[in-house]
Amino acid sequence: MHYQYRILLGYSVATNPQFPQPSQMTASQWNQFINGFDVNDFASQMAQGGVGWVLFCLDDCYFGWQCAPNTTFDNYTGYAPRTKCSNRDLILDLAPALQANGVKLILYYAGMSGYISDPQSLAGFGGDNNYNTAPSASSCQKHIAALTEYANRYTNLIAGWWFDDFIATDEYTVAPYDYRAIASAVHAANPKSIIAFSGNGEFSCHQPGVDDYTAGDTWSKQDLTALTPQTQPAADGIFWEGKIYCGNIYYGQGTSNQYTDQYLINWVTTCNRQGGVVCMDWPFDSNTGLIKGFGMTQLTNVAGTLKAIKANETGPISGRSH
């Protein structure tokens, strides 16, 4: 679920322009979106679709709008409380609703790299808008402090984290700003948390001994026959996860499905049989957070067929549709 302010407004890498003007985004409207998210109906949709886990955006990598309060963020950036961070803690409402339906929640988080299109956030955390320069020690400590506030609040309500915008170079692998420090922060709150780092590539940012599953990140329409555990194997045998969007526009957006049901069924079955899982993203209603009707129809069709395939096989398919 690419639940991010610019996506809710209809902007993405698939639109021109790609980004809204800062003046188009206000705390009042952001809170209106957050307050309108129907966690119970969304959780019911996930259960209906046979979903095993949901990967949900806590923030975005550009502007820093977050769907939960964070006092540490407010203190470092100088924003008034509940300005960039919402009044409602959407995650604290969403996680129990999903758990009640047997669905796990993993959080997308870009806060470790700063919010490159928000000068006030960059200044407050002591960062810059260049991913190719290493953060300072003080900047690292501030980022980890904000992450720790979230991790300590959610503990075992969430199953893990998906960290965006890391580069697989030495700049992020040496103290004090290294992957191990990030893992320590989340594992102190929940030792069972699983972790993935995205380096703007499907499987390009593996950190041996730290991350548990592949980021599997894609941001364009894929030839799914070329996106499988065998064609793009996970490094060092960590768990394989591949992530796509199913709408006819970028993540969370669109007016129709871009793949046929059978094409998705074939892909999921292939990935499951090869020991991987998949994450599929359908367009949703900005006002309610609910998957649009045509997306839910495809999700339930795919889930129903996969269930039938599994029931008819002597060896169970490893994994579920997500």
Query: In the chain, pLDDT over 90 holds for what percent of residues?
Result: 76
- pLDDT level of residue 200 (50, 70, 90 thresholds): low
- pLDDT level of residue 172 (50, 70, 90 thresholds): low
Pairing of strands 53-57, 240-245: unpaired
Distance CA 66, CA 64 (A): 6
Residue 211 pLDDT > 80, yes or no? yes
Question: Is residue 96 within 8 Å of residue 89, measured between CB atoms?
Answer: no
Locate all alpha helices (DSSP H) within the chain, ordered by sequence: 5-8, 27-36, 39-48, 71-77, 90-99, 119-125, 137-154, 179-189, 261-273, 293-312
Whether the upstream peptide bond of residue 69 has omega within 30° of 0, thus cis, is no
Distance CA 67, CA 57 (A): 8
Separation of first and last alpha carbons in the chain? 11
Residue 18 pLDDT > 80, yes or no? yes
Please report the pLDDT score of residue 314 as a whole number: 56
Q: How do residues 93-111 score in pLDDT, each as one tens digit?
A: 999 999 999 999 999 999 9
Distance CA 111, CA 318 (A): 33
Question: Is residue 319 within 8 Å of residue 276, measured between CB atoms?
Answer: yes
pTM above 0.75, yes or no: yes
Burial class (CB in 10 A: 0-12, 13-18, 19+), 263: middle
Question: 47 versus 236: which is more confidently predicted?
Answer: 47
Could you tell me the two tokens for 84?
């960039």
Residue 320 pLDDT > 50, yes or no? no
Domain ranges of the chain: 5-312
CATH class of 5-312: alpha beta
Please report the pLDDT score of residue 168 as a whole number: 52
Residue 318 pLDDT > 60, yes or no? no
Give, as one character, the DSSP assignment of residue 157. Answer: G
Question: 208 versus 264: which is more confidently predicted?
Answer: 264
Burial 46-57 (b: 16+ CB within 10 A, else e): beebbbbbbbbb
Question: 193 versus 171: which is more confidently predicted?
Answer: 193
Residue 208 pLDDT > 60, yes or no? yes
276, β-bridge pairs = 240
Please report the pLDDT score of residue 199 as a whole number: 76
For residue 94, give every residue at least 6 positions away whose Cβ sits within 8 Å of its Cβ, in sequence order, or none. Answer: 37, 39, 42, 43, 56, 105
> Hey, which bits of 225-271 come out as E strands?
240-245
Could you tell me the two tokens for 234?
């996970």
Please report the pLDDT score of residue 321 as a whole number: 39
Please report the pLDDT score of residue 316 as a whole number: 41
Q: How do residues 47-74 score in pLDDT, each as one tens digit?
A: 999 999 999 999 998 999 999 999 999 9
Question: Is residue 215 within 8 Å of residue 162, measured between CB atoms?
Answer: yes
Nearest to 162 by CA among 78, 106, 111, 225: 106
Mean pLDDT of the region 165-173: 58
How high does pLDDT run on average in the chain?
90
Q: How do residues 110-155 score in pLDDT, each as one tens digit?
A: 998 779 899 999 999 988 777 666 677 788 889 999 999 999 999 9
